[in-house]
Chains A and B, each alone.
Chain A
Amino acid sequence: MQEYTVDMGSFFAILISMVFVSNFVLARFLGLCPFIGVTKRTDSAFGMGMAVTFVMTLASAVTWLIHRYVLLAHSVTGANIFVRFIGPETSLEPVLRTISYILVIATLVQLVEMFLKKSVPALYQSLGIFLPLITTNCAVLGVALLNTTATEEVLTFPAAVFQGFCAGLGFLVVMILMSGIRERLEVLDLPEAVKGIPIALVATALMALAFTGFGGLITVP
Protein backbone atom coordinates (compact mmCIF):
# COMPACT_ATOMS: atom_id res chain seq x y z
CA MET A 1 0.00 0.00 0.00
CA GLN A 2 1.48 3.30 -1.11
CA GLU A 3 1.11 6.44 0.92
CA TYR A 4 1.57 10.07 0.05
CA THR A 5 4.75 11.66 1.26
CA VAL A 6 3.64 14.41 3.59
CA ASP A 7 5.20 17.77 2.81
CA MET A 8 3.98 21.34 2.77
CA GLY A 9 3.64 21.29 -1.01
CA SER A 10 1.10 18.50 -1.05
CA PHE A 11 -0.89 20.17 1.72
CA PHE A 12 -0.98 23.40 -0.29
CA ALA A 13 -2.06 21.42 -3.35
CA ILE A 14 -4.92 19.87 -1.33
CA LEU A 15 -6.01 23.32 -0.14
CA ILE A 16 -6.10 24.85 -3.63
CA SER A 17 -7.66 21.77 -5.17
CA MET A 18 -10.45 21.42 -2.62
CA VAL A 19 -11.39 25.10 -2.37
CA PHE A 20 -11.00 26.26 -5.97
CA VAL A 21 -10.20 23.65 -8.62
CA SER A 22 -12.50 20.80 -7.66
CA ASN A 23 -14.81 22.62 -5.29
CA PHE A 24 -17.29 20.26 -3.64
CA VAL A 25 -20.38 22.18 -4.70
CA LEU A 26 -19.42 23.67 -8.04
CA ALA A 27 -17.32 20.90 -9.56
CA ARG A 28 -18.25 17.70 -7.71
CA PHE A 29 -21.98 18.33 -7.13
CA LEU A 30 -21.84 17.41 -3.45
CA GLY A 31 -23.89 19.13 -0.75
CA LEU A 32 -26.36 20.74 -3.14
CA CYS A 33 -29.37 20.41 -0.81
CA PRO A 34 -28.06 22.82 1.86
CA PHE A 35 -26.49 24.92 -0.91
CA ILE A 36 -29.94 25.56 -2.40
CA GLY A 37 -31.91 25.32 0.85
CA VAL A 38 -29.95 27.44 3.34
CA THR A 39 -28.47 30.23 1.19
CA LYS A 40 -31.38 32.64 1.34
CA ARG A 41 -29.68 34.67 4.07
CA THR A 42 -25.99 35.24 4.66
CA ASP A 43 -25.94 34.55 8.40
CA SER A 44 -27.65 31.17 8.11
CA ALA A 45 -25.42 30.26 5.16
CA PHE A 46 -22.38 31.12 7.26
CA GLY A 47 -23.66 29.04 10.18
CA MET A 48 -24.37 26.05 7.98
CA GLY A 49 -20.96 26.34 6.32
CA MET A 50 -19.20 26.43 9.69
CA ALA A 51 -21.17 23.46 11.00
CA VAL A 52 -20.44 21.42 7.86
CA THR A 53 -16.71 22.26 7.98
CA PHE A 54 -16.58 21.17 11.61
CA VAL A 55 -18.38 17.87 11.03
CA MET A 56 -16.47 17.13 7.81
CA THR A 57 -13.11 17.50 9.56
CA LEU A 58 -14.18 15.18 12.38
CA ALA A 59 -15.83 12.70 10.01
CA SER A 60 -12.69 12.53 7.85
CA ALA A 61 -10.61 11.64 10.90
CA VAL A 62 -12.98 8.99 12.24
CA THR A 63 -13.77 7.32 8.92
CA TRP A 64 -10.07 7.19 8.02
CA LEU A 65 -9.37 5.35 11.26
CA ILE A 66 -12.29 2.97 10.69
CA HIS A 67 -11.21 2.31 7.12
CA ARG A 68 -7.70 1.42 8.17
CA TYR A 69 -8.23 -0.36 11.46
CA VAL A 70 -11.56 -2.11 10.88
CA LEU A 71 -12.46 -2.39 7.21
CA LEU A 72 -9.25 -3.17 5.28
CA ALA A 73 -7.87 -6.70 5.40
CA HIS A 74 -5.06 -7.37 7.85
CA SER A 75 -2.83 -8.62 5.03
CA VAL A 76 -2.97 -5.17 3.39
CA THR A 77 -2.52 -2.83 6.35
CA GLY A 78 -1.26 -5.12 9.10
CA ALA A 79 -3.44 -3.15 11.46
CA ASN A 80 -6.92 -4.65 11.45
CA ILE A 81 -8.09 -4.86 15.05
CA PHE A 82 -10.59 -7.63 14.31
CA VAL A 83 -8.00 -9.92 12.70
CA ARG A 84 -8.58 -12.56 15.38
CA PHE A 85 -12.23 -12.94 14.37
CA ILE A 86 -12.22 -12.52 10.61
CA GLY A 87 -8.77 -13.83 9.63
CA PRO A 88 -5.98 -11.91 7.88
CA GLU A 89 -7.33 -12.15 4.33
CA THR A 90 -10.93 -10.98 4.81
CA SER A 91 -11.70 -7.39 3.90
CA LEU A 92 -14.92 -5.96 5.31
CA GLU A 93 -14.67 -2.94 3.04
CA PRO A 94 -17.01 -3.84 0.15
CA VAL A 95 -19.87 -4.90 2.42
CA LEU A 96 -19.62 -2.65 5.44
CA ARG A 97 -18.12 0.59 4.04
CA THR A 98 -21.31 2.50 3.29
CA ILE A 99 -23.22 1.34 6.37
CA SER A 100 -20.39 1.96 8.81
CA TYR A 101 -19.62 5.42 7.39
CA ILE A 102 -23.20 6.67 7.51
CA LEU A 103 -23.68 5.32 11.04
CA VAL A 104 -20.45 6.94 12.18
CA ILE A 105 -21.51 10.26 10.68
CA ALA A 106 -24.98 10.09 12.24
CA THR A 107 -23.51 9.26 15.65
CA LEU A 108 -20.87 11.95 15.30
CA VAL A 109 -23.43 14.61 14.48
CA GLN A 110 -25.48 13.59 17.51
CA LEU A 111 -22.39 13.67 19.75
CA VAL A 112 -21.30 17.07 18.46
CA GLU A 113 -24.78 18.40 19.08
CA MET A 114 -24.84 17.12 22.67
CA PHE A 115 -21.29 18.34 23.34
CA LEU A 116 -21.96 21.83 21.99
CA LYS A 117 -25.24 22.10 23.87
CA LYS A 118 -23.53 21.29 27.15
CA SER A 119 -20.17 23.05 26.88
CA VAL A 120 -20.35 25.79 24.24
CA PRO A 121 -23.94 27.05 24.40
CA ALA A 122 -23.15 30.19 22.40
CA LEU A 123 -21.88 28.15 19.45
CA TYR A 124 -24.80 25.74 19.83
CA GLN A 125 -27.23 28.64 19.59
CA SER A 126 -25.84 29.61 16.19
CA LEU A 127 -25.13 26.15 14.72
CA GLY A 128 -27.71 24.05 16.55
CA ILE A 129 -30.54 24.06 14.06
CA PHE A 130 -28.24 23.06 11.19
CA LEU A 131 -26.65 20.07 12.87
CA PRO A 132 -29.46 17.49 12.36
CA LEU A 133 -29.54 18.39 8.66
CA ILE A 134 -25.88 17.51 8.24
CA THR A 135 -26.40 13.76 8.66
CA THR A 136 -28.05 13.58 5.27
CA ASN A 137 -25.67 16.05 3.65
CA CYS A 138 -23.92 14.13 0.91
CA ALA A 139 -20.81 16.33 1.17
CA VAL A 140 -19.91 14.71 4.51
CA LEU A 141 -20.33 11.13 3.32
CA GLY A 142 -18.73 12.20 0.03
CA VAL A 143 -15.52 13.43 1.64
CA ALA A 144 -15.28 10.23 3.70
CA LEU A 145 -15.61 8.12 0.54
CA LEU A 146 -13.19 10.31 -1.42
CA ASN A 147 -10.58 10.15 1.36
CA THR A 148 -10.59 6.40 1.54
CA THR A 149 -11.55 5.03 -1.85
CA ALA A 150 -11.26 7.39 -4.78
CA THR A 151 -7.49 7.51 -5.15
CA GLU A 152 -5.31 4.50 -5.73
CA GLU A 153 -2.79 5.87 -3.27
CA VAL A 154 -4.25 6.09 0.19
CA LEU A 155 -3.95 9.43 1.96
CA THR A 156 -2.09 9.60 5.24
CA PHE A 157 -4.08 10.48 8.35
CA PRO A 158 -3.06 14.18 8.53
CA ALA A 159 -3.63 14.59 4.80
CA ALA A 160 -7.10 13.02 5.04
CA VAL A 161 -8.12 15.26 7.95
CA PHE A 162 -6.74 18.31 6.15
CA GLN A 163 -8.59 17.34 2.98
CA GLY A 164 -11.83 17.10 4.96
CA PHE A 165 -11.21 20.52 6.48
CA CYS A 166 -10.39 22.10 3.09
CA ALA A 167 -13.45 20.56 1.47
CA GLY A 168 -15.55 22.13 4.22
CA LEU A 169 -13.76 25.43 3.68
CA GLY A 170 -14.60 25.31 -0.04
CA PHE A 171 -18.21 24.60 0.86
CA LEU A 172 -18.23 27.57 3.27
CA VAL A 173 -16.77 29.94 0.65
CA VAL A 174 -19.36 28.97 -1.95
CA MET A 175 -22.22 29.17 0.57
CA ILE A 176 -21.28 32.74 1.50
CA LEU A 177 -20.82 33.82 -2.13
CA MET A 178 -24.15 32.28 -3.09
CA SER A 179 -26.07 33.83 -0.20
CA GLY A 180 -24.75 37.25 -1.20
CA ILE A 181 -25.96 36.70 -4.76
CA ARG A 182 -29.36 35.42 -3.64
CA GLU A 183 -29.97 38.37 -1.32
CA ARG A 184 -29.55 40.55 -4.40
CA LEU A 185 -31.73 38.29 -6.54
CA GLU A 186 -34.57 38.60 -4.02
CA VAL A 187 -35.14 42.26 -4.85
CA LEU A 188 -35.07 41.83 -8.63
CA ASP A 189 -38.26 41.96 -10.66
CA LEU A 190 -38.17 38.50 -12.23
CA PRO A 191 -40.83 36.44 -14.01
CA GLU A 192 -42.72 34.26 -11.53
CA ALA A 193 -41.47 31.00 -13.09
CA VAL A 194 -37.75 31.64 -12.60
CA LYS A 195 -38.01 33.08 -9.08
CA GLY A 196 -36.29 31.13 -6.32
CA ILE A 197 -34.50 27.91 -7.21
CA PRO A 198 -34.34 28.21 -11.04
CA ILE A 199 -32.58 31.58 -11.04
CA ALA A 200 -30.35 30.41 -8.18
CA LEU A 201 -29.28 27.43 -10.31
CA VAL A 202 -28.56 29.66 -13.31
CA ALA A 203 -26.46 31.92 -11.06
CA THR A 204 -24.68 28.79 -9.81
CA ALA A 205 -23.94 27.84 -13.42
CA LEU A 206 -22.22 31.20 -13.94
CA MET A 207 -20.28 30.76 -10.69
CA ALA A 208 -19.22 27.27 -11.75
CA LEU A 209 -18.13 28.72 -15.09
CA ALA A 210 -15.99 31.27 -13.26
CA PHE A 211 -14.51 28.56 -11.06
CA THR A 212 -13.48 26.45 -14.07
CA GLY A 213 -11.02 29.28 -14.66
CA PHE A 214 -9.05 27.92 -11.68
CA GLY A 215 -8.73 24.64 -13.57
CA GLY A 216 -5.16 25.11 -14.76
CA LEU A 217 -3.91 26.30 -11.37
CA ILE A 218 -2.57 22.91 -10.27
CA THR A 219 -2.70 19.39 -11.61
CA VAL A 220 -5.14 17.48 -9.45
CA PRO A 221 -3.68 14.15 -8.34
Chain B
Amino acid sequence: MSRCRARGNAERMRVDHFKEFTRGILKENPVFVLVLGLCPTLAVTVSLVNGFWMAVATTSVLVCSNIIISCLRRVIPQEIRIPCFIVVIASFVTMADLTMQAYLPEGINRALGIFIPLIVVNCVILGRAEAYAAKHSVVRSLVDGLGTGLGFLLALLLISGVRELTGSGTLLGLQIARGYQPAYIMVMAPGAFLVMGLLLAFFNALRARRQVMPHAFEIERPVTSTELKKESA
Protein backbone atom coordinates (compact mmCIF):
# COMPACT_ATOMS: atom_id res chain seq x y z
CA MET B 1 0.00 0.00 0.00
CA SER B 2 2.63 2.52 1.10
CA ARG B 3 4.94 1.36 -1.66
CA CYS B 4 2.16 1.92 -4.10
CA ARG B 5 1.68 5.46 -2.82
CA ALA B 6 5.43 6.08 -3.00
CA ARG B 7 5.43 5.00 -6.61
CA GLY B 8 2.54 7.32 -7.24
CA ASN B 9 4.49 10.17 -5.66
CA ALA B 10 7.55 9.38 -7.76
CA GLU B 11 5.37 9.37 -10.84
CA ARG B 12 3.90 12.73 -9.91
CA MET B 13 7.39 14.13 -9.25
CA ARG B 14 8.52 12.97 -12.66
CA VAL B 15 5.54 14.61 -14.31
CA ASP B 16 6.28 17.74 -12.27
CA HIS B 17 9.89 17.82 -13.44
CA PHE B 18 8.80 17.26 -17.00
CA LYS B 19 6.40 20.19 -16.72
CA GLU B 20 9.16 22.37 -15.29
CA PHE B 21 11.48 21.29 -18.07
CA THR B 22 9.08 22.08 -20.90
CA ARG B 23 7.87 25.33 -19.35
CA GLY B 24 11.13 27.07 -20.25
CA ILE B 25 10.89 25.87 -23.85
CA LEU B 26 7.41 27.00 -24.87
CA LYS B 27 5.23 28.61 -22.23
CA GLU B 28 7.96 30.79 -20.73
CA ASN B 29 10.49 30.88 -23.54
CA PRO B 30 13.12 33.38 -22.35
CA VAL B 31 13.46 35.08 -25.74
CA PHE B 32 10.05 35.05 -27.39
CA VAL B 33 7.73 35.19 -24.37
CA LEU B 34 9.68 36.90 -21.59
CA VAL B 35 11.84 38.96 -24.04
CA LEU B 36 14.96 38.72 -21.86
CA GLY B 37 18.58 38.65 -22.92
CA LEU B 38 18.05 40.56 -26.15
CA CYS B 39 21.64 41.76 -26.50
CA PRO B 40 23.35 38.40 -27.19
CA THR B 41 20.24 37.18 -29.02
CA LEU B 42 20.59 39.90 -31.63
CA ALA B 43 24.33 40.48 -31.63
CA VAL B 44 25.74 37.04 -32.37
CA THR B 45 22.99 35.44 -34.46
CA VAL B 46 24.68 36.18 -37.77
CA SER B 47 25.14 32.47 -38.48
CA LEU B 48 23.83 29.21 -37.03
CA VAL B 49 27.24 28.20 -35.65
CA ASN B 50 27.66 31.44 -33.70
CA GLY B 51 24.12 31.24 -32.32
CA PHE B 52 24.66 27.64 -31.29
CA TRP B 53 27.89 28.26 -29.36
CA MET B 54 26.47 31.38 -27.70
CA ALA B 55 23.46 29.38 -26.49
CA VAL B 56 25.66 26.50 -25.31
CA ALA B 57 27.82 28.89 -23.28
CA THR B 58 24.78 30.60 -21.79
CA THR B 59 23.05 27.30 -20.97
CA SER B 60 26.10 25.84 -19.24
CA VAL B 61 26.51 28.98 -17.14
CA LEU B 62 22.78 28.98 -16.37
CA VAL B 63 22.70 25.34 -15.26
CA CYS B 64 25.86 25.59 -13.13
CA SER B 65 24.86 28.86 -11.47
CA ASN B 66 21.34 27.52 -10.81
CA ILE B 67 22.82 24.48 -9.03
CA ILE B 68 25.28 26.46 -6.90
CA ILE B 69 22.78 29.19 -6.00
CA SER B 70 20.21 26.56 -5.08
CA CYS B 71 22.78 24.85 -2.84
CA LEU B 72 23.60 28.16 -1.16
CA ARG B 73 20.04 29.44 -0.92
CA ARG B 74 19.85 29.05 2.87
CA VAL B 75 23.32 30.56 3.42
CA ILE B 76 23.05 33.72 1.32
CA PRO B 77 21.59 36.65 3.32
CA GLN B 78 18.52 38.21 1.78
CA GLU B 79 19.90 41.78 1.61
CA ILE B 80 23.04 41.04 -0.41
CA ARG B 81 21.71 38.21 -2.53
CA ILE B 82 22.09 40.00 -5.88
CA PRO B 83 25.86 40.66 -5.50
CA CYS B 84 26.27 37.04 -4.34
CA PHE B 85 24.42 35.75 -7.39
CA ILE B 86 26.52 37.96 -9.65
CA VAL B 87 29.79 36.65 -8.19
CA VAL B 88 28.67 33.03 -8.70
CA ILE B 89 27.55 33.77 -12.26
CA ALA B 90 30.73 35.72 -13.06
CA SER B 91 32.89 32.81 -11.90
CA PHE B 92 31.14 30.40 -14.24
CA VAL B 93 31.25 32.92 -17.08
CA THR B 94 35.02 33.20 -16.66
CA MET B 95 35.30 29.40 -16.77
CA ALA B 96 33.16 29.22 -19.91
CA ASP B 97 35.14 32.07 -21.50
CA LEU B 98 38.52 30.44 -20.89
CA THR B 99 37.27 26.99 -21.97
CA MET B 100 35.91 28.37 -25.23
CA GLN B 101 39.10 30.28 -25.93
CA ALA B 102 41.06 27.08 -25.42
CA TYR B 103 39.00 24.64 -27.49
CA LEU B 104 36.95 26.53 -30.11
CA PRO B 105 38.30 27.80 -33.44
CA GLU B 106 39.70 31.34 -33.50
CA GLY B 107 36.97 32.60 -35.85
CA ILE B 108 34.10 31.72 -33.52
CA ASN B 109 35.86 33.26 -30.54
CA ARG B 110 36.42 36.48 -32.48
CA ALA B 111 32.80 36.56 -33.64
CA LEU B 112 31.41 36.08 -30.13
CA GLY B 113 33.95 38.57 -28.75
CA ILE B 114 32.85 40.53 -25.69
CA PHE B 115 29.45 38.84 -25.68
CA ILE B 116 30.86 35.83 -23.80
CA PRO B 117 32.00 37.92 -20.78
CA LEU B 118 28.73 39.84 -21.13
CA ILE B 119 26.79 36.66 -20.23
CA VAL B 120 27.29 37.96 -16.66
CA VAL B 121 24.65 40.63 -17.22
CA ASN B 122 22.28 38.41 -19.22
CA CYS B 123 18.91 38.97 -17.54
CA VAL B 124 17.86 35.35 -18.22
CA ILE B 125 20.47 33.95 -15.83
CA LEU B 126 20.01 36.47 -13.01
CA GLY B 127 16.26 36.21 -13.51
CA ARG B 128 16.23 32.41 -13.09
CA ALA B 129 18.55 32.69 -10.06
CA GLU B 130 16.30 35.24 -8.39
CA ALA B 131 12.93 33.79 -9.38
CA TYR B 132 13.62 30.07 -9.19
CA ALA B 133 16.97 28.75 -7.93
CA ALA B 134 16.88 30.86 -4.74
CA LYS B 135 13.58 29.22 -3.75
CA HIS B 136 13.71 25.61 -5.00
CA SER B 137 15.69 22.40 -4.48
CA VAL B 138 18.85 21.54 -6.38
CA VAL B 139 17.27 18.98 -8.71
CA ARG B 140 14.38 21.26 -9.60
CA SER B 141 16.76 24.16 -10.26
CA LEU B 142 18.88 21.90 -12.48
CA VAL B 143 15.81 20.86 -14.48
CA ASP B 144 14.65 24.47 -14.70
CA GLY B 145 18.09 25.59 -15.91
CA LEU B 146 18.18 22.86 -18.58
CA GLY B 147 14.67 23.70 -19.81
CA THR B 148 15.26 27.46 -19.94
CA GLY B 149 18.63 26.89 -21.61
CA LEU B 150 17.06 24.65 -24.23
CA GLY B 151 14.40 27.29 -24.89
CA PHE B 152 17.14 29.88 -25.31
CA LEU B 153 19.04 27.53 -27.66
CA LEU B 154 16.00 26.88 -29.85
CA ALA B 155 15.19 30.59 -30.05
CA LEU B 156 18.76 31.48 -31.03
CA LEU B 157 18.85 28.69 -33.63
CA LEU B 158 15.60 29.99 -35.15
CA ILE B 159 16.78 33.60 -35.34
CA SER B 160 20.25 32.76 -36.60
CA GLY B 161 18.83 30.27 -39.10
CA VAL B 162 16.52 32.90 -40.58
CA ARG B 163 19.26 35.50 -40.67
CA GLU B 164 21.89 33.21 -42.19
CA LEU B 165 19.47 31.89 -44.79
CA THR B 166 18.26 35.30 -45.93
CA GLY B 167 21.46 37.23 -45.35
CA SER B 168 24.08 34.94 -46.83
CA GLY B 169 21.96 32.29 -48.56
CA THR B 170 23.62 29.50 -46.58
CA LEU B 171 22.87 27.21 -43.62
CA LEU B 172 25.82 26.03 -41.51
CA GLY B 173 28.02 27.45 -44.27
CA LEU B 174 26.46 25.26 -46.98
CA GLN B 175 24.87 27.01 -49.92
CA ILE B 176 21.12 26.31 -50.03
CA ALA B 177 19.76 27.87 -53.19
CA ARG B 178 21.77 28.49 -56.33
CA GLY B 179 21.30 31.91 -57.88
CA TYR B 180 19.81 33.47 -54.75
CA GLN B 181 21.08 37.00 -54.26
CA PRO B 182 21.68 37.29 -50.47
CA ALA B 183 20.15 40.32 -48.77
CA TYR B 184 23.28 41.50 -46.97
CA ILE B 185 21.22 43.80 -44.74
CA MET B 186 19.88 40.76 -42.86
CA VAL B 187 23.27 39.91 -41.35
CA MET B 188 23.82 43.58 -40.47
CA ALA B 189 22.33 45.31 -37.43
CA PRO B 190 18.99 46.42 -39.00
CA GLY B 191 18.25 42.86 -40.11
CA ALA B 192 18.63 41.59 -36.55
CA PHE B 193 16.05 44.05 -35.22
CA LEU B 194 13.70 43.36 -38.12
CA VAL B 195 13.84 39.55 -37.80
CA MET B 196 13.39 39.73 -34.01
CA GLY B 197 10.43 42.12 -34.32
CA LEU B 198 8.68 40.01 -36.94
CA LEU B 199 9.30 36.73 -35.09
CA LEU B 200 7.96 38.25 -31.86
CA ALA B 201 4.84 39.44 -33.67
CA PHE B 202 4.43 35.97 -35.21
CA PHE B 203 4.64 34.23 -31.83
CA ASN B 204 2.30 36.79 -30.25
CA ALA B 205 -0.25 36.12 -32.98
CA LEU B 206 0.17 32.37 -32.56
CA ARG B 207 -0.33 32.59 -28.80
CA ALA B 208 -3.38 34.83 -29.12
CA ARG B 209 -4.87 32.40 -31.60
CA ARG B 210 -4.31 29.41 -29.33
CA GLN B 211 -6.04 31.22 -26.51
CA VAL B 212 -9.00 32.13 -28.69
CA MET B 213 -9.39 28.83 -30.55
CA PRO B 214 -10.97 26.58 -27.86
CA HIS B 215 -13.86 29.02 -27.48
CA ALA B 216 -14.23 29.35 -31.23
CA PHE B 217 -14.96 25.64 -31.60
CA GLU B 218 -17.26 25.34 -28.61
CA ILE B 219 -20.83 25.15 -29.90
CA GLU B 220 -23.46 25.98 -27.37
CA ARG B 221 -25.96 23.18 -27.07
CA PRO B 222 -29.52 24.49 -27.38
CA VAL B 223 -31.50 24.05 -24.20
CA THR B 224 -34.31 21.54 -24.59
CA SER B 225 -37.83 22.26 -23.45
CA THR B 226 -37.78 19.46 -20.80
CA GLU B 227 -34.68 20.97 -19.21
CA LEU B 228 -36.33 24.35 -19.12
CA LYS B 229 -39.31 22.84 -17.39
CA LYS B 230 -37.06 21.11 -14.82
CA GLU B 231 -35.23 24.35 -14.08
CA SER B 232 -38.39 26.32 -13.58
CA ALA B 233 -39.72 23.60 -11.29
Contacts and interface: CB of A to CB of B under 8 A. Distances in A.
Contacts of B117: 97-98, 141, 145
25 contacts: A29-B38, A32-B38, A94-B94, A97-B94, A102-B121, A135-B82, A137-B121, A138-B39, A138-B121, A142-B118, A146-B114, A150-B113, A194-B197, A194-B204, A198-B198, A201-B194, A201-B197, A204-B193, A205-B190, A205-B193, A205-B197, A206-B190, A209-B185, A212-B188, A212-B189
A33 interface: yes
A145 to B, nearest CB: 4
B120 A29 contact: no
B126 A95 contact: no
Interface residues of A, number: 44
Contacts of A202: 193-194, 197-198
Interface in A149-201: 149-150, 191-194, 197-201
Interface in A15-56: 26-33, 36
A13 interface: no
Interface residues of B, number: 43
A122 interface: no
A199 B226 CA distance: 54
Interface of B: 35-36, 38-40, 42-43, 82-83, 86-87, 90-91, 93-94, 97-98, 113-114, 117-118, 120-123, 126, 185, 188-194, 196-198, 200-202, 204-205, 208
Given A102-B120, A201-B193, A209-B190, A193 B208 contact: yes
A26 B189 contact: yes
Q: Which of B113, B120, B122, B185 has the most CB of A within 10 A?
A: B120
A99 B185 contact: no
- A-B complex: 3 closest residue pairs judged by Cβ atoms: A201-B197, A205-B193, A29-B43
Contact of B86 (A102, A197, A212): A102
Contact of A136 (B97, B123, B190, B205): B123
Given A135-B82, A201-B196, 13 more contacts: A29-B38, A29-B40, A32-B39, A33-B38, A98-B90, A102-B86, A138-B39, A138-B122, A193-B201, A193-B202, A201-B193, A204-B197, A208-B193
Given A26-B189, A32-B39, A209-B190, A98 B120 contact: yes
Contacts of A36: 35, 38
Interface string A83-111: 00000000000111111001100100000
B198 to A, nearest CB: 7
Contacts of B204: 192-194, 198
